[in-house]
Structures are given as C-alpha cells and as structure tokens.
Amino acid sequence: MNPENEVYVFNLYVSGMTPKSIKAIETIKSMCEKYLKDRYQLEVFDIYQHPEILRKDQKLALAVPALIKRLPLPTMTLIGNLYSEEDFILKFGLQNKI
C-alpha cells in the first residue's frame, strides 16, 4: 500500500466524560483531521462505561487518557498528555507523511 494512502486505526481510552476526557477526544479528533484527513479511524472507549476493557488491559486503569495506534503496525501508545501535536506526530511516525 502506498504510504500516503495508509489508513491509521486508533483506539482512545478515557475515564468518564470529564472535562479532561472531552478535551482529549476533541484534541485527538482535531489532530487526526489535520494530519490524516480521510485516512484514519478513531474509536473512543470510556472505561467507566465499559469496565470489561480493563480485564483485557489492566494498565489502562492507571494510564488514561491513552491513545493506541493499532494500524499501521507496529502498535504504538501515547499516554497521559494527548494535547501535544509534536508528540502525536513523532510518536506515530507522521513527520514524513504530512
């Protein structure tokens, strides 16, 4: 697949619809639109609404908000401060794909 056409698949984990969670959701959506327009899928999981998620990945209980890039491989995780565009770009290898 051509790197410019790669679809990025993200899972965003938050804990309740707190102001911090809402800001994380808005920020990640905004960065995805800015850097990956029409090339991303974002699914948001609220661990309070879906506690079964914690059974699969217990470290999320201590580390939300957390953004996990599922595709393209390798899987990468950004935890805590999800508001830095530079961290988003560098962590997910987007610097050469913008």
Output the CATH code of domain 3-91: 3.40.30.10
Give the residue extent of every domain in the chain: 3-91
pLDDT of residue 1: 56
**Each residue's pLDDT tens digit in the chain (98 positions)?**
556 789 999 999 999 999 999 999 999 999 999 999 999 999 999 988 988 887 776 666 567 899 999 999 999 999 888 989 999 999 998 887 65
CA distances to 5, 28, 36, 72, 83 from 89, rounded to whole Å, are 17, 11, 10, 14, 11
Strand partners, 42: 10
Residue 23 exposure: Cα atoms within 13 Å on the Cβ side = 9
Closest to 21 in 3D by CA, of 78, 98, 83, 68: 83
DSSP letter for 37, please: T
pLDDT of residue 36: 96
DSSP letter for 6, please: P
**Kindly report the CA angle at 71 between 86 and 67, in degrees rounded to 5?**
50
